[in-house]
């Protein structure tokens, strides 16, 4: 991403820190209240690592947020999900700080963003500002905390990034005033048979006992396999905070030799989905908590967090002799814990495994076909092998044009988009040809994609296994105006529009007041306009048009008086 050359001369020190011992605080805390975290960097979330810190805002919005260091506003982002309203400050040391889920920016910046929204006729923005157009000083007010975007409660999401690469760094290594004298805790050890897929077994779980001789899994863990992987259930906590947060570092040792491990201090958003390989996705999807692998799966190429040989992906037990291992975990402040365990292979002759059916593996394209279905996974789609499962059942109804195809299991993750092609199972009227969608249902939120015609097949791309069906969607969205009646007087300082769709797939929204584009902010299916100079006193006509994923369009207008 290009930067101003004069400012770029100052990008001299792009550093990755591994300890805060003796570290001078480079940034001040962005809030003027007692520092406290709701979540830390590297915590495990659905489909991603948490890439920053969630700063506690006393369960309320509107707290003043200040710049962590000198710099200037480099970027502003506004979206209905994700970060909501976010501000990016570029700093002379080569880093960027990000402040997300904001309620508003400071007045001058807020007005500049509003002007750009009207100029571009787009509420959503990702605006790269001219260098030094909006300089800031350390501690300067930059806006108010909020609860916008994909936020589950009031807080400030704070990140530190390398400006040049946009990779996220662990903010705790920059000396923020968050004291920590509490070591992480390892609760359980999980052991897997690596002759089998991670997704086709349940690990053996072993509680870590706190014994006089140290933290240990009691006794010997006996396994009927010569190849093993291990994972841990662990958490951390900062001094004075009740919140359980993620661990920073974990290493597997045999004697004094480190075998494998990870450290969560530097990662790009393009890699954050590898959380689904770093943790036991299947177990988590079934509501049984997080387990973090110490040895990477075959399709896990997230090398940036590996601190030892990332090619080592399993423990080999060539004989029946017991072998002793230990695991150490640390937080950024250097507090640490460890646990010991012993593995022993139980027999020299190993039980045979069932013959593979439709096997798909990382590093290879996966293809499955029937007369009505084609599924294509690229070589980066899978983290571990699967025996692909498929079943289908008939679906009745006037809008259904295929059976419901169950593609593998929704508790098995994919990394990249895969292709689904469905053939209609009955004659398709020509007037419906451009109104076809493929809907994915099952665990998680339904997904609807416009279907593209390709030689008698209808194609779309998805990222989650589940149930897939070809549907005709001819039902347009609906529009309503809560608290605003035709010809009535506007009460209050805002107008709300609610949009619903039969498949929940709104693609476009546009509003115009007296023929001029009007700025509505989106939160889910609710759109809100806060009255400004575009709506002076008098009689007005508001025209709203919306379109769903299939291309069905609704236009509705209402006359009101302000």
What stretches of 236-335 adopt beta strand conformation (E)? 249-254, 257-263, 266-267, 292-293, 315-316, 323-330
Query: What SS3 class is residue 224?
Result: coil
pLDDT, tens digit only, all 562 positions of the chain = 434 433 333 332 333 333 333 345 689 999 999 999 999 999 999 999 999 999 999 999 999 999 999 999 999 999 999 999 999 999 999 999 999 999 999 999 999 999 999 999 999 999 999 999 999 999 999 999 999 999 999 999 999 999 999 999 999 999 899 999 999 999 999 999 999 999 999 999 999 998 777 799 999 999 999 999 999 999 999 998 888 999 999 999 999 999 999 999 999 999 999 999 999 999 999 999 999 999 999 999 998 899 988 788 999 999 999 999 999 999 999 999 999 999 999 987 666 666 667 899 999 999 999 999 999 999 999 999 999 999 999 998 899 999 999 999 999 999 999 999 999 999 999 999 999 999 999 887 889 999 999 989 999 999 999 999 999 999 999 999 998 999 999 988 999 999 999 999 999 999 999 999 999 999 888 999 999 999 999 999 999 999 999 999 999 999 999 9
Helix (H) or strand (E) holding 81: none
Name the token pair of 79: 């979206």
What stretches of 199-355 adopt beta strand conformation (E)? 204-207, 209-211, 214-216, 221-223, 227-235, 249-254, 257-263, 266-267, 292-293, 315-316, 323-330, 336-345
Contact 551, 437 (CB under 8 A): no
pTM summary value: 0.90
Query: Per-residue DSSP letters for 87-131?
Result: EEEE-TTSEEEEEESEEEE-HHHHHHHHHHHHHHT-S-EEEEPPT
Distances (CA, A) of 62 to 47, 142, 155, 179: 30, 12, 10, 26
- Identify the structural domains of the chain with CATH numbers, from first to last: 5-174 (2.70.70.10), 185-345 (no CATH), 359-472 (2.60.220.30), 478-561 (2.60.40.1220)
Give the C-alpha separation, 435 to 466, whole Å.
22
């Amino acid at each position: 991403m290009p930067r101003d050359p004069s400012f770029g001369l100052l990008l001299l020190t792009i550093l990755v820190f591994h300890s805060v011992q003796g570290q001078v605080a480079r940034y001040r805390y962005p809030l003027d209240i007692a520092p406290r975290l709701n979540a830390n960097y590297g915590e495990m979330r659905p489909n991603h690592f948490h890439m920053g810190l969630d700063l506690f805002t006393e369960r309320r919005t509107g707290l003043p947020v200040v710049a962590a260091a000198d710099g200037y506003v480099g970027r502003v982002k506004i979206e209905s999900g994700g970060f909501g309203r976010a501000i990016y400050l570029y700093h002379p040391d080569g880093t960027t700080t990000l402040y997300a889920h904001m309620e508003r920016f400071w007045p001058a910046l807020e007005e500049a963003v509003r002007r750009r929204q009207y100029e571009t006729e787009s509420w959503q923005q990702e605006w790269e500002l001219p260098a030094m157009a909006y300089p800031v000083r350390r501690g300067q007010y930059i806006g108010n905390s909020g609860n916008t975007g994909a936020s589950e409660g009031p807080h400030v999401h704070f990140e530190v990034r390398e400006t040049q690469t946009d990779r996220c760094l662990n903010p705790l290594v920059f000396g923020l005033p968050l004291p920590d004298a509490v070591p992480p805790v390892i609760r359980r050890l999980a052991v897997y048979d690596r002759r089998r897929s991670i997704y086709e077994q349940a690990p053996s779980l072993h509680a870590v006992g706190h014994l006089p001789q140290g933290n240990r899994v009691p006794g010997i863990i006996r396994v009927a396999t010569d190849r093993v992987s291990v994972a841990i259930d662990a958490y951390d906590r900062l001094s004075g905070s009740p919140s359980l947060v993620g661990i920073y570092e974990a290493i597997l040792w045999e004697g004094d030799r480190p075998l494998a491990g990870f450290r969560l201090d530097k990662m790009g958003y393009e890699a954050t989905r590898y959380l689904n390989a770093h943790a036991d996705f299947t177990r988590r999807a079934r509501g049984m908590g997080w387990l973090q692998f110490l040895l990477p799966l075959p399709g896990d190429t997230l090398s940036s967090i590996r601190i030892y040989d990332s090619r080592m992906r399993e423990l080999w037990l060539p004989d029946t002799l017991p072998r002793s291992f230990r695991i150490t975990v640390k937080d950024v402040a250097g507090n640490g814990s460890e646990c010991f365990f012993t593995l022993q292979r139980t027999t020299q002759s190993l039980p045979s495994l069932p013959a593979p059916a439709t096997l798909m593996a990382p590093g290879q394209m996966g293809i499955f076909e029937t007369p009505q279905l084609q599924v294509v996974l690229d070589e980066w789609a899978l983290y571990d092998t699967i025996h692909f499962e498929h079943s289908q059942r008939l679906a009745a109804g006037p809008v259904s044009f295929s059976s419901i195809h169950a593609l593998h299991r929704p508790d098995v993750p994919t990394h990249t988009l895969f292709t689904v092609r469905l053939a209609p199972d009955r004659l398709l009227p020509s007037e419906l040809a451009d109104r076809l969608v493929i809907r994915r249902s099952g665990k998680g939120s339904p997904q609807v994609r416009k279907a593209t015609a390709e030689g008698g097949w209808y194609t779309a791309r998805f990222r989650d296994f589940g149930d897939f069906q070809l549907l005709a969607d001819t039902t347009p969205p609906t529009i309503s105006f809560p608290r605003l009646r035709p010809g009535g007087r506007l009460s209050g300082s805002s107008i709300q529009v609610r949009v619903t769709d039969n498949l929940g797939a709104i693609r476009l929204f546009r509003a115009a007041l007296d023929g001029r584009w009007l700025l509505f902010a989106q939160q889910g299916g609710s759109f809100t306009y806060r009255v400004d100079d575009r709506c002076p006193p008098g009689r007005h006509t508001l025209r709203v048009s919306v379109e769903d994923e299939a291309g069905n369009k609704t236009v509705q207008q209402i006359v009101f008086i302000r």
